[in-house]
Structure formats: structure tokens, C-alpha cells
Amino acid sequence: MKSNKIVIKELSPTDVGKNYLKWMNNKEILKFLESGKTKIKKKDLQRYVLVKKNSINEFLFGIYFRKSHIGNIKLGPINFKKKTGNIGYIIGVKRFQNKGFASEAINKILNYSFKKQKLKKVIANSEEKNLASIKVLEKNGFKKTKSRMIKRKYGKKKLVYFSVDKKTWLMK
Ligand SMILES: CC(C)(COP(=O)(O)OP(=O)(O)OC[C@H]1O[C@@H](n2cnc3c(N)ncnc32)[C@H](O)[C@@H]1OP(=O)(O)O)[C@@H](O)C(=O)NCCC(=O)NCCS
């Protein structure tokens, strides 16, 4: 099902519900991410959301499908001097993956980044093995810029970096 029915909305601590808490404790959903190595409680997420809500250079949005909170997408940190910003995203409810929702959410966040935040370039990175993540970036006009091996507490992995600039995105 391909649709344009998702809504993205900036999160507040009161938006932290069962879905969000469930995916933040789901090792399979989080296998390519740094999160998920320790148990996360509701109050940890509420604190995290509050920090982002009060931040001047990070913006955390919930992805909603038919009023159900199915994922998150974040813009930031933004470098206002360089007019660049990073994005990160997750569709945390398995049955809502592979339905075009992340692609659509990225399109919305790019619109917000370039039009509202007046950025020139948006950056993302993904583990090389995370093919679905790379696909959603490429579908939104991102191009690979570099890759490197990184050493984390839980092992080594290859990260691939992508970016898309405003001009390229507007021409799509
Ligand atoms: C990566 C992720 C955000 C993708 O979200 P999604 O809503 O399922 O993505 P979409 O449905 O918009 O697109 C997925 C695309 O990848 C493709 N895909 C999915 N799994 C794939 C795989 N194993 N190999 C190759 N392509 C794959 C799909 O076919 C689809 O492409 P298409 O539209 O051309 O058919 C989601 O899987 C997720 O949240 N994963 C866990 C968290 C995560 O890894 N976040 C990214 C951190 S960098």
C-alpha cells in the first residue's frame, strides 16, 4: 500500500505512549541503531522528548498513520551557520514497514528543512547493511558522499553518509 496519509507532528512528552515505548525496547527494530542496548522506561523517553522540544537546533517529530504513532523522524542537530542538518528516522511498528511511510516522512522533513528552516543541505547516514534505509534516502534524492568503518562499544560497522541539497531536491 503506497499512500500519502501520514502526518508528522512535533512530539511533546505527553505523546510518549505504548507504541513508542515498545519499539524502543525492540531489539529487532533497533538492530541497526545505537539505541536498544539497555531497557528504556517511559520516563526516559519523556525526558528525551522534552530535551528535543526545548532544543533550538533539534526537532523531533512523531509519524502518525490514522492517529496511531508508528515512528519518529528527527531533524538535527542543525548547523545554522552552514545551513546544514542531519536527519534520523524510524518506522517502529513492524506491520507498517515497507508501505512507503518512511519515504513519505523524509519527503515531509526535507520540505520542512529547506522551506521552513531554510537549510541548504540535509545529511543522513546509515549502516551499509541497512538496505531499506539506504533505499528511502535514494528515493528522496540523497547521494552517497563517503563511507567509513566506525568502532562502537558493541562492535565495528560500516556507515555510509548521504546528502541532498536544496537545488537538487527542488528539481525532483
Ligand atoms: C529503514 C526504515 C525507516 C524504512 O522504512 P519503511 O517505511 O519501511 O520504508 P519505505 O516503505 O518507504 O521504503 C522501503 C524501501 O526499501 C525496500 N527494502 C526493504 N527491505 C529491503 C531489503 N532488505 N533489501 C533491499 N530493499 C529493501 C523496500 O522495497 C522499499 O523500496 P520500494 O519503495 O522501492 O519498494 C524502516 O525499516 C525502519 O524503521 N527500520 C528500523 C530503524 C532504522 O533502521 N532506521 C534507519 C536508521 S539509519
Query: How do residues 13-54 score in pLDDT, each as one tens digit?
Result: 999 999 999 999 999 999 999 887 789 999 999 999 999 999
**DSSP secondary structure string for all residues of 96-127:** GTTSSHHHHHHHHHHHIIIIIS--SEEEEEEE
In a domain, residue 27? The reply is yes
Instruction: Please tell me if the CB atom of residue 98 comes closer than 6 angstroms to any atom of ligand 1.
Output: yes
Distance 43 CA to ligand 1 centre (A): 29
In a domain, residue 1? The reply is no
Distance 48 CA to ligand 1 centre (A): 25
- On the question of pLDDT at 3 being above 60, the answer is no
pLDDT reported for residue 4: 66
Instruction: Please tell me if the CB atom of residue 126 comes closer than 6 angstroms to any atom of ligand 1.
Output: yes
Q: Taking the chain, what is the end-to-end CA distance rounded to the nearest angstrom?
A: 23
Write the CATH number for 28: 3.40.630.30
Q: What is the mean pLDDT of residues 49-76?
A: 98
Domain residues for the domain of 92 are 6-171
pTM of the model: 0.96
Report the helix count and the strand count for the chain, using DSSP H and E: 5, 7
- On the question of pLDDT at 2 being above 70, the answer is no
Distance CA 142, CA 65 (A): 25
